[in-house]
Amino acid sequence: MATNRTFQNMLNDYLANDLLKEELVKRDFLLTRVEKDDGWIGVSGVNGANGGALIVPFKGAGASSVSYGSLTASNDIAQDIYVRGQISQQPELWASMIFNHRDLMEHDKVSEKNFLKILPDTVDDFMDYVKNVVSVNLLNGAAFAKATALSSSAAGLVVVDRPDRFVIGQKVIVQNNVPAFVTGYIKSININTSTVEIVTTRGGVTPVSFAVNNVGIGRGFYNDGAQTAPFSSLRDALLSAANGGSASLYGVTKLDYPYTQAININGATMTQLNILKQIFQAYTVTRKIGKGAPTDVVMSYDNFGYCMALIEASKGAFNVVPNSKKASVYGWTEIRIGTVTNQELTLIGVQEMDNDIIMFLDWRAIKFYSNGFFRKRKNPEGLEYYEDRLTTGFVYIVDICLFGDIVVNRPSYCGIIYGIPTTMPAS
């Protein structure tokens, strides 16, 4: 029995050009824009001082005593109310890569010292992929994709809304109609039909039978562990429980304080022709009722495309800021438009966003807390890999980790349109 070799035929000492590979789009809009705090210090004695419970204080009520004609009685003066919320335990994510020792032994120029560069930019590419996974979670919630067509086939085929978020060999946890979860691995992806084929083992051929585990429309696909221990998300934080969000925020019931409630606007009647009108109406409501001053309207590429089509067709109807259209190399596009408050509003199309929500973000309200952010795991000797001995040979494992969570400490500064048709009608 020979020891394992993964890419022996692809790698040699005289490779003139970089190994051809699919271009990886950098998709981490939220992680790029949000303020970061690397000082997550948990409550002493609660799950450890570092990485333990994070206190999230906010002001639940402010001084409000006003009296005409006389002073307010001293025993009737309203006081500020400060509320102590907390994230009870620091969420964490681990991502891993594996390399075979025999591949290293057969190539003199590739040693253990530099094996992290066996393939061009392999670890950096993987880091970008992990950032994309995290950004999708932080924006939309734990499920990274949803089923769009009922599948009761024994062939393991499911039609999904975001085939671009799947990778060959990826482990997925699929929610079925119980609801419960079934585990599988991606065998093939048909981009043009948005269909993924799911099998029972990585590299195997036995399909996951959805004749038994019936997957219905809207059921979620999760990365391993995300169904039970994901990061927080803007969707859950900004939406009320009635509209699909969480009932509480950091242990505090949202409905107890206006401060913990973002402005929610129903987008069920949104169409390709009225999308801009509804966005501006929602923005006006957010500014009028909310406590913040949102500057960015974050939406999916599809919804941004509908906005751009309207702007191009009726430029005179919109106060477009000259030369403001900008396509970012990081995977998002934006354009600035004047508003009723004389403040410029930036429409941003983001690859990671889902179609059914549009967010109005005041960046003062959002922060990502961590204690190290993305980093490769190091052992006490400073090595960034772990060696393991298998019967098939030695392997080296590289682990990337992220400890932390997103905190929306001022939800009332932001707004969100929900219930937008995922396939928006033309009129």
More confident residue, 200 or 12: 200
Percent of the chain residues past pLDDT 70, beyond the cut: 76
Whether 339 shows a pLDDT value over 50: the answer reads: yes
| Mean of all residue pLDDT scores within the chain | 79
Is 44 strand, coil or helix? coil
According to DSSP, the β-strands at 393-408 and 375-376 are antiparallel
Residues 6+ apart with CB under 8 A from 315: none
Q: What is residue 178's predicted lDDT score, i.e. its pLDDT?
A: 61
Q: What is residue 171's predicted lDDT score, i.e. its pLDDT?
A: 95
**Model pLDDT for residues 189-216, shown as the tens digit of each residue:** 999 999 999 999 998 999 987 765 566 6
Q: What is residue 7's predicted lDDT score, i.e. its pLDDT?
A: 43
Mean pLDDT of 298-313: 88
Whether 73 shows a pLDDT value over 50: the answer reads: yes
Residue 185 has what DSSP assignment?
A: E
Whether 20 shows a pLDDT value over 50: the answer reads: no
Q: Which two tokens stand for residue 204?
A: 């195997």
Residue 366 phi/psi, 5-degree rounding, is -130, 140
Would you say the pTM of this structure is higher than 0.95?
Answer: no
Query: What is the signed CA dihedral for 36, 386, 121, 195, rounded to 10 degrees?
Result: -80
Q: What is residue 315's predicted lDDT score, i.e. its pLDDT?
A: 56
Q: What is residue 177's predicted lDDT score, i.e. its pLDDT?
A: 66
Question: Which of 28-32, 308-312, 315-319 is predicted with the least confidence, judged by mean pLDDT?
Answer: 315-319
- Comparing C-alpha atoms, which of 414, 413, 386 is closest to residue 401? 386
Angstrom distance (rounded) from CA 365 to CA 237: 11
Q: What is residue 406's predicted lDDT score, i.e. its pLDDT?
A: 92
The answer to whether 294 and 348 are in contact (CB under 8 A) is: no
**Model pLDDT for residues 229-268, shown as the tens digit of each residue:** 999 999 999 999 999 999 999 888 999 888 889 999 999 9
**Model pLDDT for residues 147-173, shown as the tens digit of each residue:** 887 666 678 888 999 999 999 999 999
More confident residue, 80 or 280: 280
- At 17, the pLDDT band (50, 70, 90 cuts) reads very low
**Model pLDDT for residues 99-122, shown as the tens digit of each residue:** 776 666 655 554 545 554 555 457
More confident residue, 361 or 209: 361
Residue 256 has what DSSP assignment?
A: G
Question: Which of 21-25, 232-236, 255-259, 384-388 is predicted with the least confidence, judged by mean pLDDT?
Answer: 21-25
Q: What is residue 14's predicted lDDT score, i.e. its pLDDT?
A: 31
